Structure 1
């Protein structure tokens, strides 16, 4: 990846210092190829903490260019704003790399290979009508994140995707602090219980290999602007998987004050408040297997391990998403409008004053003329 940054970053004639620019979460510094007018970064696609997202058509490497201005020597002030610029590199996926010349003669072997191929998971932002990926990653308070989780099953048996958990942080490290749990307990959209939230799973699913949900934009306390990363644990299971406490998508309904399931009965969501979904799911799934283990082979003595073999997990991170406070957004748009309104008020006041003066002038002259005529004066 080669990134060339003009030192006149804001186009105002003030050149930024190369040392104030960095690339990616690991803050890679510019290369020695930088010039007096441009700052050059030359890094590997997987360096600097860059993230990889895979869709059915593209490999997308994402990173961000960060500008953090520092004061001049012996000066306590700065005159420019900091900035974070999202950078994405798109590479076409050119289909299956397997050779078409190889024709397996044993059909069961072919089926086994298909099942064991690794799945490709994706987590992306969608536009308001879910018709295409969202291009902007800048939001204001009051906006809504439209998030879609998907799994590519092109070279795989049909699968269904679930979102087990999602957590928001200020860095790509999902274990960092502060952190905010959005989804927990194998598909309980916990954020929807907040008084000022309308977050929910979108029903019905578009397809079994896609799952969509909305989250109201937020920022962390103590920061006017929040650069948010959302890390989710995605899981794919067999397409015919029956919804249960460990395979569910539950939203909280404020009208009924109850959890509701996107699929299956609402009873599978009753564990969301008690935080016992894993225990409830395992007991329901494996309760009939424990007495004598009649359906578990020698190598499958542990039913939990046996269940894990039938699915795949992937931890995927979405971001960074820049959330700007509503006050700052209004300050940029309302201030010019307020000035215009004030100008029109002044113009209207002056115009009204002239009309009033004209009317009084006309009315004032007529009584004077009448008085003169009655008195016989000219």
Structure 2
């Protein structure tokens, strides 16, 4: 026994001299007993869901047997508190949306990475002069692929960085479509009479992105599917000004409030090109999105013109963001404004799209003149109607003539056959 005690003392002294004591005192975040082949639950576990993350923290945070309290742990710069749980539970749970608690989004060509920090700040002990543990910050990350569909699987968290992955397709899907007058469903017909309002819905499917706000940057109408063709008519311009609403005979406008931040409704009065007889029209629009926490600005807005008040009114945001619609040049307030999502990530193609509606068929109203009849004044019949009338008249005349001829032959010699028969009887 004496020899074993001496050997143990020598090994302990050697450990102190080589600094291994400092390593044994550092937190053991993932404990594994190789001899037993048993892996203990990690101190910090991260689960990345479709639109939120779940962080589970072992209350024996440092592996010393001293349990931390829920009030000593927060998540992110916003210091979000954990969800309420049983004080006797061995784990503390955080569950937040991906964009909450001040998390940061980083975009790479292949991934979306949401990052935040788990903070441990020990509370004062009974003596305000004493702290029995030090503050710790643990980086948390969730990474989502932007392309390709891969089977969903989690990656085991490690110390730097903690990461878990849920593989999904992350591309945005923009759409532009006709709607019924009550906006309840898509419109099946693309035919309109002049005077009808065209109800258009622009929307984007955001998937697992942070919430995004959709804007219609510009729209113009053409007679062919080529947006660069002439003639063309500008409906929306200057980064979201519905300029068609400035016409005294138009009620075109954006619909406020939005049904959702990723949806935008607007109405356009039906029209035809004055110098062209074609009635098929195409409407090409440029759509884009910004982060939902980015305030609307002169570059990101949806403004309608109020003819009665002679002013521009935004769907959301202060009215001065629409003042540039009157000037016809819209730029940012200042260089210090908050950058857009595309500027921060340097990838514009994922956040913008060019879409087209058409062909839309436009007809003049039923009670008005139809194209080609503008010079038919006074109700004079056109050639088709006139020929039909003459044909009917001629047919009636021929029928009447035939009837008169037949009638005259019948009554010219009404008793001739009877007379001849009587005379024969007399001869006999």
Q: TM-score, normalised by structure 2?
A: 0.47
The CA deviation at 1:108 is 7.3
* Number of the residue aligned with 2:320: 267
1:204 to 257, 262, 265: 257
Which of 357, 361, 368 pairs up with 1:322?
361
Aligned to 1:363: none
Residue 336 (structure 2) pairs with residue 287 (structure 1): yes
**Alignment correspondent of 1:369:** none
Decide whether aligned partners of structure 1 residues 304 and 254 sit closer, same or farther in structure 2, where only a CA change above 3 A counts. same
**Among 135, 154, 168, the residue aligned to 1:103:** 154
d(CA) in 2 for partners of 1:321, 1:248: 26
Give 1:331 deviation, angstroms: 6.3
Residues 308-347 of structure 1: pairs in structure 2 closer than 5 A: 309=347, 312-326=351-365
CA 1:229 to 1:103, structure 2 compared with 1: closer, same or farther past 3 Å? same
Shift of 1:275: 1.8
Which position in structure 2 is the counterpart of 1:171?
Answer: 224
Deviation larger for 125-134 or 310-319: 310-319
In structure 2, list runs of 5 or more residues that go unmatched: 1-146, 372-378, 380-428
Structure 2 residue aligned with 1:75: none
Kindly state the Cα deviation for residue 99 of structure 1 after the two structures are TM-superposed: 3.8
Give me the whole-angstrom Cα distance separating, in 1, the residues matched to 2:244 and 2:163. Answer: 45
C-alpha displacement at 1:192, in angstroms?
0.2
Contact residue 225 and residue 324 of structure 1 kept, 8 A: no
CA distances 1:141-162 after superposition (whole Å, capped 9, x unpaired): 0111100000001243221110
Look at both structures and tell me which one has the larger radius of gyration over its CA atoms: 2
In 1, are the aligned partners of 2:194 and 2:271 still within 8 Å (CA)?
A: yes
> Which whole-Å CA distance do the structure 2 matches of 1:110 and 1:124 have between them?
37
Q: Which residue of structure 1 lines up, in the alignment, with residue 302 of structure 2?
A: 249
Partner of 2:352: helix, strand, or coil? strand
Instruction: Decide whether aligned partners of structure 1 residues 249 and 325 sit closer, same or farther in structure 2, where only a CA change above 3 A counts.
Output: same
| Structure 1 residue 287: Cα displacement | 3.1
Question: How many residue pairs were aligned?
Answer: 222
Structure 1 regions of 5+ residues with no counterpart? Answer: 1-95, 290-295, 297-302, 333-337, 339-378
- Higher RCO, 1 or 2 (CA under 8 Å, sep at least 6)? 1
Task: Report the equivalent of 1:157.
Answer: 210
1:301-312 maps to which residues of 2 (within 5 A)? 305-306=343-344, 309=347, 312=351
Post-superposition offset of 1:222: 2.5
Q: State the Cα distance separating 1:255 from its structure 2 match.
A: 1.1
TM-score by length of 1: 0.53
Compared CA separation, residues 140 and 287, structure 1 to 2 (3 A): same
Aligned in 2, Cα 1:265/1:176: closer, same or farther, shift over 3 Å? same
Post-superposition offset of 1:112:
10
Change (3 A) 1:288 1:199: closer
Task: Indicate which of 181, 189, 209 corresponds to 1:136.
Answer: 189
Report the 3-state secondary structure (helix = DSSP H, G, I; strand = E; otherwise coil) of the residue aligned with 2:279.
strand
Greater per-residue helix proportion? 1
